[in-house]
Amino acid sequence: MTDKRILLCLAHMSETGEEMKFVKEAFDTNWVVPLGPNVNGFEADLEAFVNNNEVGLELNKRVVALSSGTAAVHLALLACGVGPGDEVMVQSFTFCASSHPVTYLGATPVFVDSEPETWNMDPALLDEAISDRVAKTGRKPKAIVPVYLYGMPARIDEIMAVARKWDIPVVEDAAEGFGSRYHGQVVGTFGDYGVLSFNGNKMITTSGGGALICPDEAAWRRIMWLATQAREAYPYYQHEAIGYNYRMSNICAGIGRGQMTILDEHIAHHRRIAAMYSDAFKAMDGITFHSEAEGMESNYWLSTILLDEGLRVVGEDAAYAEAVQGAVGGAAGVVHGGGAAHTDCEPSRNVEAMRLALDRCGVESRPLWKPMHRQPVYKNAPAYVNGVSESLFKRGLCLPSGPMVTDEDVARVIEAIKGAIER
């Protein structure tokens, strides 16, 4: 066994050096600031990509490059009129960046559970939840935030039908779904706004960064204004509203322009890895690979599996023997020490035992996102649940899926999983 560690997901620089060409140009022309030619060029590249579809739709979406996907969520909610005392319907099965900006604005996230096929927001439950919120509060929620979990398209046509019924704007969180399509249309272009992320672990990276897909020129201009400190057109600094320092730097955008040249290659690579995992687990009792549904084309940002409750994994009895110290994973950053080995909602013992077994083999894996309605910080938030996301969280693992993962690495991961199952 080699000591090479197989990482979960990490975007990488292209071998062609396109990124360095744009970055060098930024230094040579002294555009080492937010805004600049690379930012404009990156936004143009993104607009060309998101407006291109396989169904003949004439889309004219505009894109604003930003400092993060979280900033994109924040600005989209502002554009939808979200403010103190409002409510926003948010998919519970997601990363906290989908819901935290709601609280930045003094509003309340109302969590909606998932349906079992895509793992994304359940449209029928969403409709019931909105009806109940209107009955309880006398007001409609201000926005709906569905998420494309692990790159898997949601049932966005059904979600949009609910949104139109209630006349509520939709902010598509496509941070994990860049390049995924629903019936040939790029996700993030169905709703009023679409959120993209270019964090270091996404399909392409700008080191850190994100973007907001806007419906039209007027919306684009307002988002651009808000993202640049809401500065008025005077020869001095005049501010008549609160803005934010959210624009992407010219250096980061240069990386993004280079990365756009290999986006299709990255998507194809992730999909090939997913196919390899899928084929292997078909022949393995007790493990189910999460596959795309009909009409959906996932970028398979992360390949994910579910372990049956009855599957026995080596080391289960010691799975939660010790509390985790520090961050799990290579780029997880600083974490606050929890101290306890257990929480009141955690992955099953066989899932944690599998994670530890893979770690001993030099393979990084992670549990699925813990549903927001089970996070202590949101214990008082309204939630409409059906048990789907909590069940998936307890049974699921994310497997190495990034562009640096080779076919040989995938074979190693599969063999490590086989070796961890008790016979």
Q: What is the CATH number of the domain that holds 344?
A: 3.90.1150.10
pLDDT at 374 over 70: yes
385 and 324 in one domain?
yes
Q: How far is CA 152 from CA 159, 207, 286, 299, 388, in A?
A: 15, 23, 22, 7, 16
Q: Is residue 248 part of a domain?
A: yes
Q: Which two tokens stand for residue 413?
A: 């991961």
276 and 137 in one domain?
no
Dihedral (CA of 172, 176, 182, 187) sign: positive
Please choose, from the candidates 29, 423, 72, 20, the residue with its C-alpha nearest in 3D space to the C-alpha of residue 247: 72
171 and 117 in one domain?
yes
> How far apart are alpha carbons 82 and 89 in whole angstroms?
11
The contacts of residue 109 (CB under 8 Å, 6+ apart) are 87, 88, 90, 99, 102, 103, 372, 378, 381
- Length reported for the chain: 423
248 and 303 in one domain?
no
How does pLDDT run across 31-50, given as a tens digit for each residue? 666 778 999 999 999 999 99
CB-side exposure of 185: number of CA atoms within 13 Å?
Answer: 17
pLDDT band for position 1 (cuts 50, 70, 90): very low
Number of domains present in the structure of the chain:
2
196 and 114 in one domain?
yes
Q: Is residue 28 part of a domain?
A: yes
More confident residue, 331 or 269: 269
Q: Is residue 369 part of a domain?
A: yes
Q: Is residue 192 part of a domain?
A: yes
Residue 354 structural domain: 264-420
pLDDT band for position 23 (cuts 50, 70, 90): confident
Q: H or E stretch including 143?
A: strand 143-145
Q: Taking a C-beta distance cutoff of 8 angstroms, is the pair 72, 210 a contact?
A: yes
> How far apart are alpha carbons 237 and 280 in whole angstroms?
61
State the pTM of this model.
0.94
Q: b/e map of 327-346 (b: 16 or more CB within 10 Å)? A: eeeeeeeeeeeeeeeeeeeb
How does pLDDT run across 270-280, given as a tens digit for each residue? 999 999 999 99
Q: Is residue 12 part of a domain?
A: no
> How far apart are alpha carbons 13 and 204 in whole angstroms?
9
Q: Is residue 331 part of a domain?
A: yes
Which of 262, 291, 310 corresponds to the end of one domain?
262
Q: Taking a C-beta distance cutoff of 8 angstroms, is the pair 301, 177 a contact?
A: yes
315 and 251 in one domain?
no
